[in-house]
Amino acid sequence: MVLLRKIITPLLSVRISSVLYSTKSLPKENKVKVGQYEINYVKVGNGKHNVLCAPGALGTIWTEFSHQIQGFDQDKFSLVVWDPPGYGKSYPPEKTFPLDFLEKDADLAYELMKALQIPKFSLMGFSDGGITSLFLAAKYPDAINKLVVWGANSFILPSELETYKSIKDVNKWSKRMSEPMIEIYGKERFAKYWAGWVDAMEAIYQANKGNLCADRLKNIKCPTFILYGEKDPMVDRVHVSHLHTHIEGSRIHLYPEGKHTIHLKYAEDFNKRVQEFLLQP
């Protein structure tokens, strides 16, 4: 249970407690048809610099990006934050986890921005959203202005797979750790989704020797900012150097005491650094 708490607490409970808005002041959510999904999203700000924000596994608009929705300069930026297909209110249909589910999410994100008539945009991707952002930048270079990723990896280490498998059974999670996800998904769907995600990681590891998108990094040509919490229990620090080495011209910022959710824990500093990067010519 100690190990479980060490892994899950920075992954979920900090995220869920991060919502800053009162219910009355929440920006309006909208839906748009993309493929078989009615994608739920929020658009805030009136700035010229458009940014798509991509949540992590089982993440939603409000569990992941409340600090950025509130904290970014809305005169300079326009943020589009989505519930990825099957997550949050982009449901039904249910989320499925084939080997290429992250790349499919990237394709749907690209189609979402086309549907919103935003042909050029930057990316802010956290965890799984960071992986989909790597796919996006590699596959659609003409559409991407700049790329920001954190808590992201382009391959799976054996030790990381074992970590995922150790937290697969949500019935072993404490009530405090599981309740926020149950509130969003319900008990059965939360358990199904999380087990499906872990199974997908294992299947990708077995089928692709752990490769998520490592072979695509060479195709990323846009300016890229990689941030990382050095005490992240989910993503090994080797991924930072790998991304930096294989994405030409990328830069790094490390948070020595940071864990997985540095955009929430260090929101003010994170927002400042990312905005400065995005606004640079």
In the prediction, which pLDDT does 200 show?
98
Q: In what order do the strands lie in the sheet with 37-44?
A: 29-34, 37-44, 77-82, 49-54, 121-126, 144-150, 224-229, 251-255
| CATH number of the domain where residue 168 is located | 3.40.50.1820
Pick the range with the lowest mean pLDDT from 156-160, 178-182, 183-187.
178-182
Return mean pLDDT, the chain.
93
24 assigned to some structural domain: no
Does residue 22 register a pLDDT over 70?
no
- Of the residues 66, 127, 133, 178, only one is catalytic, namely 127
Query: Is-contact 275 146, C-beta < 8 A?
Result: no
77 assigned to some structural domain: yes
Does residue 6 register a pLDDT over 90?
no
> 133 an active-site residue?
no
Among candidate residues 199, 196, 169, the one with its CA nearest the CA of residue 96:
196
Percent of the chain with pLDDT over 70: 91
Does residue 18 register a pLDDT over 80?
no
Task: List Cβ neighbours of 226 (8 Å cut-off, separation of 6 or more).
Answer: 149, 150, 152, 240, 243, 244, 247, 250, 251, 252, 253
Tell me what the mean pLDDT of segment 6-11 comes to: 52
In the prediction, which pLDDT does 4 show?
52
Does residue 15 register a pLDDT over 90?
no
Query: Sign (positive/negative) of CA torsion 213, 234, 277, 106?
Result: positive
Does residue 121 register a pLDDT over 60?
yes
Tell me what the mean pLDDT of segment 248-258 comes to: 97
Does residue 14 register a pLDDT over 80?
no
Does residue 270 register a pLDDT over 80?
yes
- Of the residues 232, 239, 250, 263, only one is catalytic, namely 232
128 assigned to some structural domain: yes
| Domains identified in the chain, total number | 1
Does residue 19 register a pLDDT over 50?
no
And the tokens for 81?
């934050």
205 assigned to some structural domain: yes
Question: Which residues constitute the domain of residue 66?
Answer: 2-15+29-279
- Of the residues 49, 67, 239, 260, only one is catalytic, namely 260
Tell me what the mean pLDDT of segment 100-110 comes to: 98
In the prediction, which pLDDT does 26 show?
79
> 67 an active-site residue?
no
Does residue 188 register a pLDDT over 50?
yes
pTM: 0.93
> 73 an active-site residue?
no
Confidence category of residue 13, pLDDT binned at 50, 70, 90? very low
In the prediction, which pLDDT does 254 show?
98
In the prediction, which pLDDT does 17 show?
42
Query: Is-contact 139 106, C-beta < 8 A?
Result: yes
In the prediction, which pLDDT does 281 show?
92
218 assigned to some structural domain: yes
235 assigned to some structural domain: yes
Query: Is-contact 110 135, C-beta < 8 A?
Result: no
